[in-house]
Amino acid sequence: MTVGKPAAAGVRLDASDMKILQALSLDARTSLTRLARRVGLSKQVLSYRLKQLERKKVIRGYHAIPNLAVLDLTHYRMFLKYQGMTVEKEQDLINCLKGQKEIAWLTLLEGDFDLEFVAWARRLEEFSAIYDGILERFGSYFGEKYFSIATRLEYLSARFLDGETKASVLAIGDRDGRFNPDELDRKILNELNRDGRLSLAALARACGVPVVAIKARLDNMLDKKVIVGFGLKINHNLIGFTYRKVFLKLNNQSEEAQARLWAYLRRQRNVIFILKTIGSYDMEFEVMTASNEEFYNLMRDFRSGFADDVKLTHNVIVHDELKYGRLDI
């Protein structure tokens, strides 16, 4: 996207807006003072610009990124293709999924799948109970289903916005100890997942404890990597980007080959998310591009560079995210 060019929906982002969004993409809780230094603006100008991005709904929200492995949670995913689905019945399905606390992600898709939902659960039996309930009510409207478990996830900073080449990376999947949250920890995690920029004072009011207790608990969870970062959800449609999920079947399953793939994807400024999965596909990555041509060129270069390692690629477009990374434990 050309800096300063209006997107299709009429939102205009200049270089400073892009820098703000990129800087917040994995560090959304950073202070205004630090953020102002990082993007080269005064604190007053930054505050005004940030409020404008929120008011115009370019920024949809901020959320804590929990370390699922440390919390003993698994990332279960289901992709669905409809058959005979009416608009009214789809809305019933969406309302059902949005209302279940275990459903952390809910995504409307375009292409070979129509909907994705993600459940964060401790055991496969927990996910199976959720899925069985959905099947009982809506199973006759599902033509195709694809299930997978994500065993490693990496969030990459939003370099597609300002052309940064080096990515900041937040990895989830390496189990370094286990954390058993008590009631106060859960309240803090849930509140920060709804609004990652909540002040300590606001958290204290929401949880009914002194600020000093909130700070101590939050510092402890950050130190133990229960929370690995704070994400920013951007309205990609509003600023003229297309968001795609790319599925990979691998020929070469060796650790060395997969390490090469991950290293390559981390270097691509359009890539924002990488997953290792167990299911019909072996890996996935997610990309933001400003045009179909940009996506075509990215995939052409990728397939050429990994012709011997990758058997098949497949992609779908993300139309909208109705729930994103919602933790409710």
* The pLDDT value given to residue 7: 40
Q: Kindly indicate the confidence band of residue 10, based on its pLDDT and cuts at 50, 70 and 90.
A: low
Say if residues 58 and 21 touch (Cβ distance below 8 Å). Answer: yes
Residue 200 three-state SS: helix
For 138-162, what is the mean pLDDT? 93
Burial class of residue 38 (count of CB atoms within 10 Å of its CB; 0-12, 13-18, 19+): middle
Say if residues 101 and 316 touch (Cβ distance below 8 Å). Answer: no
- Could you please report the per-residue DSSP string of 232-300? EEE-TTTTT-EEEEEEEEES---HHHHHHHHHHHHH-TTEEEEEEEEES-SEEEEEEESSHHHHHHHHH
Domain 183-223 of CATH type 3.30.60: no
Helices 211-223 + 183-194 axis angle, to 10? 80
For 239-256, what is the mean pLDDT? 95
**Percentage of residues of the chain with pLDDT beyond 90:** 86
Between 75 and 7, the more confident residue is: 75
Say if residues 35 and 24 touch (Cβ distance below 8 Å). Answer: yes
CA distances, 175 to each of 68, 169, 179, 256 (Å): 9, 17, 10, 21
For the segment 295-319, what is each residue's pLDDT rounded down to a tens digit? 999 999 999 999 999 999 999 999 9
Residue 8 has pLDDT above 60, yes or no: no
For the segment 118-147, what is each residue's pLDDT rounded down to a tens digit? 999 998 999 999 999 999 999 999 999 999
Name which of 115, 110, 86, 112 is nearest 98 in CA terms.
115
Q: Kindly indicate the confidence band of residue 328, based on its pLDDT and cuts at 50, 70 and 90.
A: confident
**Percentage of residues of the chain with pLDDT beyond 70:** 95
Spell out the domain ranges in the chain: 183-223
CA distances, 76 to each of 15, 119, 223, 282 (Å): 38, 5, 26, 14
For 101-118, what is the mean pLDDT? 95
* The pLDDT value given to residue 174: 62
| Tokens, residue 270 | 């359009």
Residue 67 has pLDDT above 80, yes or no: yes
Q: How wide is the angle at C-alpha 170 spanned by C-alphas 30 and 1, nearest 5°?
A: 75
Say if residues 244 and 112 touch (Cβ distance below 8 Å). Answer: no
Rounded to an integer, what distance in angstroms lies between the CA atom of residue 136 and that of residue 218? 40
Output the pTM of the full model. Answer: 0.91
Name which of 182, 113, 100, 175 is nearest 148 in CA terms.
113
Residue 42 has pLDDT above 90, yes or no: yes
Q: Kindly indicate the confidence band of residue 15, based on its pLDDT and cuts at 50, 70 and 90.
A: very high
* The pLDDT value given to residue 162: 79
For 15-29, what is the mean pLDDT? 94
Mean pLDDT of the residues in the chain: 91
Q: Kindly indicate the confidence band of residue 181, based on its pLDDT and cuts at 50, 70 and 90.
A: very high
Amino acid symbol at 263: A
Residue that the structure tokens 């270089």 belong to:
15
Residue 71 has pLDDT above 70, yes or no: yes
Rounded to an integer, what distance in angstroms lies between the CA atom of residue 192 and that of residue 28? 11
Residue 45 has pLDDT above 60, yes or no: yes
* The pLDDT value given to residue 1: 25
Residue 198 has pLDDT above 50, yes or no: yes
Q: Kindly indicate the confidence band of residue 172, based on its pLDDT and cuts at 50, 70 and 90.
A: confident
- Describe the chain by its helix, strand, coil percentages, rounded to 5: 35, 30, 35
For the segment 203-234, what is each residue's pLDDT rounded down to a tens digit? 999 999 999 999 999 999 999 999 999 999 99
For 49-76, what is the mean pLDDT? 94
